[in-house]
Structure 1
């Protein structure tokens, strides 16, 4: 009986198994080191972003929360509980600031939310010079806020302002745009809309260009005019963008500060343009009451967080 033989072919087909005997790292260690070197740059940028957010976003929020329940006098900090909230609540300017802020938000939504959408719909109909028109619309956003405010101060000037010159040309009486409590807030809203509408317009325009042209062709075959196409095609197709920008505009307008501060000095005639954020500014830098300023900021934060939570809940309900 002959001894069994081992085929060289079978040996060649068998996988070669190597053994590691002490010393160097195994495959898992080398793979980890390779991934670490590959992602070292990304980790570096991530760590930098986390540090920036920690220092300039998260830490101020935590610090504000603590200040809302503290009071500092002669360098000594003491816990006062809800005393700062009580001080803010009993201030007569508290409710006036909220009324003015809500009025600004409503007017800004009527103008600042609708006007950019209408401008985007009109720009979308143009077939030529689209780039120049987009630049023209976005130009106010690129201007420094101070320059824009100086422009509107010239337009609103009761003596030689351009708006009163136009009214006089048509035989209409001149208006005290920023000096009259009845028109000061509307004047601020118009200026803020012109200064900030460029970004929203370009976002709407990008969303409109993503709508399939077949939908408009089908609507035209059904005899739909421009208004019906916008109502039945454009708005449903851009519903997500519209709702998101609505939330962002509510949050932004509730924190308005720059426009009334630069146009009317903040308070305006008879306090007609005093907003919540300007009242926070007064508490902190005019009255040196940082606890009250933090308490009012905390109230605004809770309100805006509630609005955001309601938006998320409604969005999930619609998706389901």
Structure 2
């Protein structure tokens, strides 16, 4: 990130930085030795959520609102409200598409191989399968409860072994990457849009765009780990787990350059683009990061992580803006 460089160059450098931190986060799986890492992952996810919420306002929504302040009444809100809604709708639709591809959750994608590698494993828990506590995960936990009570497992509960045997290993890996990559698109777009908007309003400054890139880079640390750690715990090699963890962040480079190109050439779209990125990020926090960080009994750790993440990003945007 260089002062005076073109918006496209700034966007490329900014998203290169966020990808590098994604790769670093994925590489932390190298140090995973047991099953106690869940509390650290939940705290990191909460921290990431706080960073994203603060960045969504100070680096994206505030400049968007200022750009529409020349309008009067409801016309001031239309670009911001519509852009925010469309951003959330985009991530929702992307999740639906991934579901159509049979990627119901990352639990679905990795549990099959783990059971295939270790047939004696008949339960799935927060300790051995991480990331995204969905309906499928709840059904597996329900199955475990029946096992602990020495009762017969009802027939309507799906068997992870039978359901996953027909899935190809590489298909599961690719769908896992798609599921996480979908959530990296709005983050890269946000960085690109922020750099493309520099100078278009009093709050759209190089410093705010730089701080947004730093904030997203920080929250990418646990995101990279959230991919590589489950893969490693599912039985994949450390090298392969780290490789796919960092690969999920590469999409931010393309989304960032596209966002900067779009707003550099079509200035009227700026308020929509900024609020679109904010809506997408908020949806990811509310729909994925917060529920996941609270799903395994580490809710207080995640909540305080969120508070500290918010304070850090707010300090970057407000205290270091000059």
TM-score, normalised to structure 1, is 0.29
TM-score, normalised to structure 2, is 0.28
Q: Which fold has the larger relative contact order, with Cα–Cα distance below 8 Å and residues 6 or more apart in sequence?
A: 2
